[in-house]
Amino acid sequence: MTLQRIDDGARMSDVVIHHQTLYYTSVAADAALDEDITAQTVSALAAIAAMLARCNTDKRRLLDATIFLPNAADFAAMNAVWDNWVEAGSAPVRCTVQAGLMNPRYKIEIKIIAAL
């Protein structure tokens, strides 16, 4: 069994790949941390797309997404961005939970699983 860690550090890896399955968590880029939920969602999804491309896969191969929002009032605005980003016929299993995030500037965190 091959286990690959990408950009691994002492605390965590950016990506783990096991059995042709990719695991990744995304937040908004630092430049977007003072922006609203729409901009942070765009940023987090762009980071996901970039990492998927780096690993030779894409958003059509998403299997699962868990979205964490500290503010439930942001749900509709986040969904508007998500719905525009996800490709019809390729939507993953998804859940959204309200949760406090460790950095108070984060308005969203997205954990995904994708097939390679």
pTM, whole model, 2 decimals?
0.96
The reported pLDDT for the residue numbered 51 is: 98
- Dihedral angle of Cα 28, 29, 33, 35, to the nearest 10 degrees: -80
Residue whose pair of structure tokens reads 């690959």 in the numeric block: 4
* Domains of the chain by start residue, with CATH: 3-115 (3.30.1330.40)
At 58-90, the pLDDT tens digits run: 999 999 999 999 999 999 999 999 999 999 999
H/E stretch holding 52 reads: helix 37-54
Tokens of 87: 């490709």
Helix or strand or coil: residue 107? coil
Mean of pLDDT values over 41-67: 99
Residue 1 has pLDDT above 90, yes or no: no
